[in-house]
Amino acid sequence: MSNLNIYIDGNNLYRSAKELGFEIDYKKFRGWLRQKYNPINVYIFIGLVPERVTFYEHLQSCGYILVFKQTISVGEKIKGNCDAELVLKTVSDFYTNSFTSCMLITGDGDFGCLVEFLKEKKVIHGVLAPDENKCSILIRNKNIEITFLNNHYHKFSKRI
């Protein structure tokens, strides 16, 4: 894995960890990724919420490259789905030879077509799925290596 990029569906990772009772220490998580996979770049795709600037600065100081989606408020909820941005960045990086191998961190079936594309191109190293119980069949059925984070959160998170 000489030139590996990791693309993180930030919302999927955050929500899955939270539902499983964990709060991710993003600095420790970045260290875990470095130790286990030694990526060149780790991109995290998240909705842009102006009040969270300090958190974004923290993520950058941990070594993540942030890719934002403008958010909108719908009642109490903040919406900022980054799926299209993640797909576009990954495919663009493939075509500009920015990596020789890549990984996705998501369990969202919307990325099934991306997994299939990367598999066809022989550049996907695997998927890290944030929750084994919520990993979509649209990713599971691609015959690629999937590592479920359920048994790893204790290495880089605290219980909430």
For the segment 59-82, the average pLDDT, to the nearest whole number, is 85
pLDDT higher than threshold 80 for residue 57: yes
How far apart, in whole angstroms, are the C-alpha atoms of residue 3 and residue 29? 19
List the one residue out of 110, 159, 100, 157 whose CA is nearest residue 137.
110
User: Which class for 74: exposed (0-12), middle (13-18), buried (19 or more C-beta within 10 A)?
Assistant: exposed
pLDDT 10s digits, 93-140: 999 999 999 999 999 999 999 999 999 999 999 999 999 999 999 999
pLDDT higher than threshold 70 for residue 43: yes
For the segment 62-85, the average pLDDT, to the nearest whole number, is 84
List the one residue out of 36, 56, 72, 71 whose CA is nearest residue 149.
36
How far apart, in whole angstroms, are the C-alpha atoms of residue 101 and residue 49? 31
CATH of 4-159, one of 3.40.50.620, 3.40.50.10540, 3.20.20.80, 3.40.50.1010: 3.40.50.1010
User: Residue 121 — left, alpha, or beta (φ > 0 → left; ψ -120 to 50 → alpha)?
Assistant: alpha
pLDDT at residue 58, as a whole number: 97
Give me the torsion for CA of 115, 116, 121, 123, rounded to 10°.
Answer: 20
Q: Is the distance from CB of 49 to CB of 79 less than 8 angstroms?
A: no
For the segment 64-73, the average pLDDT, to the nearest whole number, is 87
- In the chain, where the domains are located: 4-159
pLDDT at residue 50, as a whole number: 86
pTM: 0.95
